[in-house]
Amino acid sequence: MIDVDFILCECNLEALKSFVESLEGIYQTLVSRDPSLCTVMIPAEDSVEGQPFYLGEALVTECEVVLQGQVGFGICLGDEPVRCYCIAFLDAALQLNDAHYDRIMQFLKEQDALVTQAHVVEYNHIQRTKVDFKLMEQD
């Protein structure tokens, strides 16, 4: 199963925006809450005593959209109103589970592959910067 939230937050914004625009004419859409900035507390747990505490605040953008009566909610880290709207739109569209569900899932699978590939490339770049101390000892 793919992690829809992760994909939508990590995928290319232009591809996401273009895909959502291709679906907007199909659904009766109402933005019930425009994308807006807010802060949320970041919970954590003390590793020694296991006590919960808050690390601090994070800036997020949130939005609420209604498609054909189905409410969709979007939230993402940072100031990203377009991405947040797209997330809310697709959240509602996926919950409708209508004839376009398979098309949306296909888009998400394609984006998942692209995000995974980008992470592999980034990981490989990071690995090239690591120092191998065993090689240094041989000199």
pLDDT in tens, 80-128: 999 999 999 999 999 999 999 999 999 999 999 999 999 898 888 888 8
What pLDDT score does 129 carry?
85
pTM of the model: 0.85
What pLDDT score does 131 carry?
76
Query: Hey, where are the domains in the chain?
Result: 4-125
> Please, which residues have CB within 8 angstroms of residue 78's CB and are 6 or more apart in sequence?
59, 60, 61
Q: How far apart are CA 29 and CA 14, in angstroms?
A: 20
Q: How far apart are CA 79 and CA 36, in angstroms?
A: 8
**Partner residues linked to 77 by β-bridges:** 60
Rounded average pLDDT over 28-35: 95
The DSSP secondary-structure symbol of 11 reads: S
C-alpha count within 13 angstroms, C-beta hemisphere, residue 5: 6
